[in-house]
Amino acid sequence: MSTNDVAETAPGWLAESELEDVRDRVPLVYVDAVPVRVDHLGRVQKVGLLLRAIPDGTISRAIVSGRVLHGETLREALWRHLSKDLGPDAEPQLPSAPAPFTVAEYFPDPRRTGFHDPRQHAVSLAYVVPCTGTCSPAQDALDFSWLSPEEAVSPGVAGEMSSGHDRLVRMALGHVGQLP
């Protein structure tokens, strides 16, 4: 069975040519997740960042991010992307009623909002998600690291991020009252 056969029969999936057509015409819905470790009072102790190879050939630090599929709830999309990127033992603690800490609009033109996706216009709901299990790089991630909040927003680490993810990490830490 070819990849196109799977795409055509799996509900919620589009063939690559169909996805390109949609990306040219319609903003897509995404979820962004900032994985965190928290103490017993819910204070952020660590921020989890992936290391990924970007299509332009560079390597970048990133948060968990991905599309919401047709017929999929936001909770299901968050769970799928967190499990896919951080491994099956990550144990993300999703709230019963997920509410994003912000909404980010990604555009092909990075000057538009500061959130950049060269492929498309995407609207992403961003969440802070505590993970209690063992996180390890999965799928196309090269590495995964837990950093202190201070390290995660440091100029050196922020400079290693692309697409505006450094801004989302700062916003996430500000939202939970942990911005250094």
Length of the chain (residues): 180
Domain 26-175 has CATH 3.30.70.100: no
And the tokens for 116? 């950049």
What's the pLDDT score for residue 178? Answer: 94
Model confidence band, residue 140 (pLDDT cutoffs 50, 70, 90): confident
Q: Where are the domains of the chain?
A: 26-175
Determine the Cα–Cα distance for residues 114 and 132; give it in Å rounded to an integer: 31
pLDDT, tens only, 96-129: 888 999 999 999 999 999 999 998 999 999 999 9
In DSSP terms, 38 is beta-bridged to 44
And the tokens for 84? 């896919």
pLDDT, tens only, 62-106: 999 999 998 999 999 999 999 999 999 999 999 888 899 999 999
Nearest to 34 by CA among 72, 3, 63: 63
